[in-house]
Amino acid sequence: MISARNVTVTYRRNNIVALRDVNIEVPSETVTCILGPNASGKTTLLKTIAQLLNYSGVVEINGRDAKSIIRELRRILSYSSTIEEQDLLGVTVLDVLVYSRYPVSRGFFTSEDDIKRVYEIAEKLGLKGLLSRRLSELSAGELQRVVLAAALVKDPRILLLDEPDSHLDVYSKIWLSNFLREISSQVTIVLSTHDPIFASITCDYFIVLSRGEVVFTGSRGELLKNTGILESVYNVSFTSISLGELHILLPLNQSIHRDKLVKLGEQSHRDISYNSSNTRGDH
């Protein structure tokens, strides 16, 4: 379990308060999503949990102060955002995965164990054919998968993913969603995203941030019933659609008439249900 109590982060350079008095509890072995518009503090919150920023307050990992277990944390926690790509330095996919085992790798040179684990992860993520490629030769989607593999290669128990779905096409997003749900029985995952549809099909628990403050924490069911929270944060209408077991959060453009949407759903699916606490943009 990850918890934060009275966490405040102030960027010294411009004196901006990026997180203000944040109190959250992230349940273990679930996929938790941090939602919020640009500059709401999503990345800052992830980096704070990962102990990459100075903060006031307390972050606890499994009941222990994160600051006191920093060495252990580097082995059991992965924070993943982007990987710098400098073509002329010749960094290959294999290099990235081998280097990313740094905290768990023993000895000076790469061991057989390192190589074995790297190949297993590469196989799992469909990267085996790309191992000798340079990062600059990859598509944006392939690079995103390498970033995920780099986070997984040290076998973390906590996985913090900053916008793992950016640059992904629809197929890859669904693949990623399924993959994260599959591994969430062994790993606690916290991710941030700008895509409410991806969030709602992937995540069980939600934290909504607005201007550095937590405005909502709760399960997917609770958020789907309370889409007004997202409305006030994003200034966009939201609705939720349930298709069998699939629950989807949908941002609405004002020109889309909800009645039409419901009718469209009814035609294709008998058991469609529609829920929104907000009616702005509706007629």
**For helices 140-152 and 112-124, angle between their N-to-C axes, nearest 10 degrees:** 130
CB atoms within 10 A of CB 215: 16
Q: Does 237 bind another protein (CB under 8 A)?
A: no
CB under 8 Å, gap of 24 or more: what pairs does 252-258 form? 252/281, 253/281, 254/281, 257/282, 257/283, 258/282
**Residues 80/164, Cβ–Cβ less than 8 Å:** yes
Please say which residue, 89 or 246, places its beta carbon nearer to another protein: 89
Q: Does 96 bind another protein (CB under 8 A)?
A: yes
Instruction: State in angstroms the smallest separation of the CB of 45 from another protein.
Output: 14
Q: Does 138 bind another protein (CB under 8 A)?
A: no
What span, in angstroms and rounded, lies between the C-alpha atoms of 178 and 206?
18
| Span 44-73, contacts to another protein by CB under 8 A | 47, 50, 52, 71
* Residues making up the chain, counted from first to last: 283
CA 16 to chain centre: 24
End-to-end CA distance of the chain: 44
Which of 30, 100, 226, 227 forms a contact with another protein (CB under 8 A)?
A: 100
| Span 147-206, contacts to another protein by CB under 8 A | 150, 154
DSSP type of residue 266: H
What span, in angstroms and rounded, lies between the C-alpha atoms of 226 and 38?
21
Q: Tell me how many degrees the CA angle 44-98-103 measures, rounded to the nearest 5.
A: 55
Stretch that binds another protein, among 15-23, 95-103, 206-214, 269-277 (CB under 8 A): 95-103
Which of 109, 244, 245, 253 forms a contact with another protein (CB under 8 A)?
A: 109
Q: Which residues pair with 162 in a beta bridge?
A: 192
Q: Does 83 bind another protein (CB under 8 A)?
A: yes
Stretch that binds another protein, among 107-115, 117-125, 179-187, 219-227 (CB under 8 A): 107-115
Q: Does 95 bind another protein (CB under 8 A)?
A: yes
Instruction: State in angstroms the smallest separation of the CB of 278 from another protein.
Output: 36
Q: Does 90 bind another protein (CB under 8 A)?
A: yes
Stretch that binds another protein, among 32-40, 86-94, 204-212, 220-228 (CB under 8 A): 86-94
Q: Does 110 bind another protein (CB under 8 A)?
A: yes
Among 198, 130, 188, 127, smallest CA distance to 157 is for 188
Q: Does 84 bind another protein (CB under 8 A)?
A: yes
Structure tokens belonging to residue 262? 């419901």
> What is the binding site for another protein (CB under 8 A)?
47, 50, 52, 71, 74-75, 77-84, 86-92, 94-96, 98-100, 102-103, 108-110, 115, 132, 136, 150, 154
